[in-house]
Amino acid sequence: MKLTVTKEFTFDCAHMLSYHEGLCSNLHGHTYRLEVTALKYELINEGSSEGMILDFGDLKRIVKESVLDKFDHSFLFWERGCDAEREIAATIEKHGMRIVRLKDRPTAENIAVFIINTLNEHLKDSPINIVKVRLYETPTSYAEVKNYV
């Protein structure tokens, strides 16, 4: 049996899309809305989590520890960004503020892929797989990555 559970989260980040031919090349921020879907084939049949595949509270803890605690209120810094992006990141770091250093441009697509890979790495020794991440950058724009096993 294929069973999934999904939990929603929000987090705030600053970013810029270096080399974008539009307003998004400017430093700006989003309250991202994140939906994370976990899949497992068997229900837990005893104890505190009986009848669940994964306690929503455990999913919350996993996402918080491996993603939100790093991302929330940080600057998403693309290592290959323009001079301005690298100077902004250097200033933020110098003042002890939060950045997340990324190998890929911080588009909604790339951030969604980064998040699903990070979560599945965290869960690699468990029977749980994160099969879908949907990341809303604005109320009307989202990227989705699916990883069906």
Ligand X SMILES: Nc1nc2c(c(=O)[nH]1)N=C([C@H](O)[C@H](O)COP(=O)(O)OP(=O)(O)OP(=O)(O)O)CN2
Which residues bind to ligand X, rule: CB under 6 A?
A: 17, 24, 107-109, 137-138, 140-141
Annotated catalytic residue 87: no
Annotated binding residue 95 = no
Question: CB-wise, 16 or 59, nearer to ligand X?
Answer: 16
Q: Which is nearer to ligand X, 107 or 120 (CB)?
A: 107
Cβ 141 to ligand X shortest distance, Å: 3
Active site residue 82: no
C-alpha distances in angstroms, 117 versus 23, 66, 90, 140? 29, 11, 26, 24
30 is in an annotated binding site: yes
Of these residues, 65, 73, 79, 121, which one is catalytic? 73
Asked if 30 contacts 13 with a C-beta cutoff of 8 angstroms, the reply is yes
For the sheet with 141-146, list strands across it.
Answer: 99-102, 74-78, 3-15, 28-40, 129-138, 141-146
Active site residue 73: yes
- Cβ 20 to ligand X shortest distance, Å: 7
Please report how close the Cβ of residue 88 comes to ligand X at its closest, in angstroms: 15
Can you say which residues are annotated as belonging to the binding site for Zn(2+)? Answer: 15, 28, 30
